[in-house]
């Protein structure tokens, strides 16, 4: 499945619903993207743009049991498997843009407030926010570094993990997998870190 640039532009500002386990199921690990890209909005599947390394890193980390290739849209089986494992995916800002740098600081701060409300309601074991720059802006933590954050959000441990976008060129599937596995280990989703 492919899209022309004009076709993708039609999905600007479209929202992508959260992927969460049912309310009566445990939410162990909540991954948080900055905001949906246009490809994600077009397919209604998180981290869907071809070249995004999110799902390859999850597979390498042992967080998912099989490859997920969402560029044409995630299958119901893929979504059900994530939910069954207690994994959710949301975004700081729900509206789709071509690039995350199109978001305003006000949008990021408002999105951060909404995310904290979702975390208070669903009480995930671990929240993993993908993107240090957006995290610093959304939560007013100018000195934050990648890794586990010193404070909790209620009962939830908070990690900042690298953004899997292909634009984040200094990260590899290997380095992303290690960071995601650390959050997943803390959440009880995996039993050990991946071996190199």
104 pLDDT exceeds 80? Answer: yes
Residue 114 and residue 111: Cα distance in Å, rounded?
A: 5
Residue 55 and residue 89: Cα distance in Å, rounded?
A: 12
Residue 153 is given by DSSP the state B
* Cα separations in angstroms, 8 against 2, 45, 180: 10, 14, 29
pLDDT value of position 77: 96
What percent of the chain has a predicted confidence (pLDDT) above 90?
Answer: 87
pLDDT tens for residues 115-173?
A: 999 999 999 999 999 999 999 999 999 999 999 999 999 999 999 999 998 777 789 99
Cα dihedral: 58, 44, 69, 166 (round 10): -70
Residue 162 and residue 132: Cα distance in Å, rounded?
A: 7
Residue 122 and residue 77: Cα distance in Å, rounded?
A: 23
19 pLDDT exceeds 70? Answer: yes
Residue 61 and residue 177: Cα distance in Å, rounded?
A: 5
pTM of the model: 0.95
Residue 33 and residue 163: Cα distance in Å, rounded?
A: 8
Locate the domains of the chain by residue range: 5-187
Find residue 158's DSSP bridge partners: 127
Taking the domain 5-187, which CATH number applies? 3.40.470.10
Residue 40 and residue 24: Cα distance in Å, rounded?
A: 27
Residue 107 and residue 95: Cα distance in Å, rounded?
A: 10
């Amino acid at each position: 499945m492919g899209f022309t640039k004009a076709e993708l532009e039609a999905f600007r500002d479209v929202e992508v619903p959260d992927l969460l386990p049912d309310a009566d199921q445990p939410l162990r690990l909540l991954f948080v993207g900055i905001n949906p890209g246009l490809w994600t909005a077009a397919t209604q599947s998180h981290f869907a743009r071809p070249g995004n390394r999110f799902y390859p890193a999850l597979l390498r980390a042992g967080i998912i049991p099989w490859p997920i290739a969402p560029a044409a849209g995630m299958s119901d089986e893929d979504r059900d498997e994530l939910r069954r494992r207690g994994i959710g995916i949301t975004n700081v800002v729900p509206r789709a843009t071509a690039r995350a740098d199109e978001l305003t600081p006000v949008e990021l701060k408002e999105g951060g407030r909404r995310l904290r409300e979702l975390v208070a309601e669903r009480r995930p074991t671990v929240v993993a926010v993908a993107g240090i720059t957006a995290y610093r802006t959304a939560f007013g933590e100018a000195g934050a570094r990648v890794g586990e954050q010193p404070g909790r959000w209620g009962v939830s441990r908070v990690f900042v993990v690298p953004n899997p976008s292909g634009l984040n060129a200094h990260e590899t599937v290997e380095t992303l997998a290690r960071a995601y596995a650390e959050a997943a280990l803390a959440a009880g989703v995996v039993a050990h870190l991946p071996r190199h």
